[in-house]
Amino acid sequence: MIPVTQPYLPERSRLDKYIDGIYERCWLTNNGPLVQELTQRLEAYLGVENLLLVGNGTLALQIAFRTLGIQRPVGKRSAEAITTPFTYIATASAIKWEGIEPVFADIDANTWCIDPERIREKISSRTRALVPVHVFGNSCDVESINKIARQHRLKVIYDASHAFGVKLGKQSLLSLGDASTLSFHATKLFHSIEGGAIIFKRKRDLKKARKLINFGITGPEQIEALGINAKMTEFQAAMGLSVLDEITQNLNGKERVYKTYENLLKAGYYAASVTFQKQHTDIRENHAYVPVLFNDEDTCLKVKAILHQNGYQARRYFNPSLDTLRILTKRKHKCRVSRDISSRILCLPTYATFEDLHIASIARLIRDLSKTTNSIERQSLSGITKAL
């Protein structure tokens, strides 16, 4: 079975050199030299400041909330954070885990990112933050979100897990908001096996967060805050540095795969009834995912099944829409657009070395099923017309 994605593994000899250094120093964690080097190199590569490496992407969100004081209750009731229902469960569960009530605002039907107008409808006296997601690396409407945040004095924490290396104009998308968080999970475009990062707008927040990720310890016999263990290890940093050394070929491979899918499915012999995500007009994509939208859920499920029968794994990212999960909220949010998109979306297999012949095979399977479905629909419609 060909998986929906495959972790990028750098040359073993490259990784071994970093690991040899770990063995020589016998320094495995607690802000070791490789963690420091990766921090500096990521800041330079991404064009950001105040970057903090942590153990995983979920911890990145939780530490960001704690650092910015989002979790403090409002009177006797919990604070609220407005977020999107069309995202991975970790976004909302991290909010809930910190004692904050997630409030879901619906998404834009074309970009699949949170709709600013729906955000406005959800703001209450308990709202303390906005947690938008750059879905599949596509930029949110950051100008509108920033305007709303200023008007209501809200913090903005972007879940930018998919947006590694993405630029909006000449600016890194990761530099926006009070904080942006990244996931470096093994399946991500850039990874450290497990890991994550927070990019803070203000240096004082970075300094505070550094204390929080190390139990609040600031010296051998000094504890200044209530903290937790969220540190990245030297072995994680070694993998991160190795992957970063080869990031250009990984990016180029992902772009080739995405554009091949796009060219085959949009026009010509393999053209099929699918819709691609509408990208922000001023964005430089990273092509980390290949999500396509079908006309209805039935077609989506049939495509997923036929791909599986032919040895290809596709995933329904993101299904279900999170506003339907009672473990997250008991409110009836009625995010109709998110529910609709989540029922019809499928992420197709992609990784840097994915071969064109497999992409063509997947495009053919989708096209053939689309043709069959459309033919059945036309016959059904013709029968109804004759009966009338």
Task: Please name the residue ranges forming H helices in the chain.
Answer: 12-25, 33-46, 57-67, 89-97, 116-122, 142-152, 203-212, 234-245, 247-266, 297-309, 336-344, 356-387
Q: What angle do CA 321, 322, 323 make, to 5 degrees?
A: 95
- Asked about 188 being catalytic, the answer comes back as yes
Q: Are 60 and 181 within 8 A, CB to CB?
A: yes
- Block residue for tokens 């050394």: 245
Q: Respond yes or no on whether the N-terminal peptide bond of residue 318 is cis (omega within 30° of 0).
A: yes
Name the token pair of 279: 């990208």
DSSP three-state, residue 372: helix
Residue in the structure block whose two tokens are 């099929």: 272
Catalytic residue among 188, 208, 231, 254: 188
**∠ CA 379-383-384, rounded to 5°:** 120
Give how far the C-alpha of residue 98 lies from the chain's centroid of Cα atoms, to the nearest Å.
20
Each as own residue / partner, the long-range contacts of residues 48-51 (CB below 8 Å, 24 or more positions apart, any chain) are 48/172, 48/174, 48/175, 48/199, 49/175, 49/199, 49/203, 50/199, 50/200, 50/201, 50/202, 50/203, 50/205, 50/206, 51/197, 51/198, 51/199, 51/206
User: Any idea which residues carry the catalytic annotation?
Assistant: 188
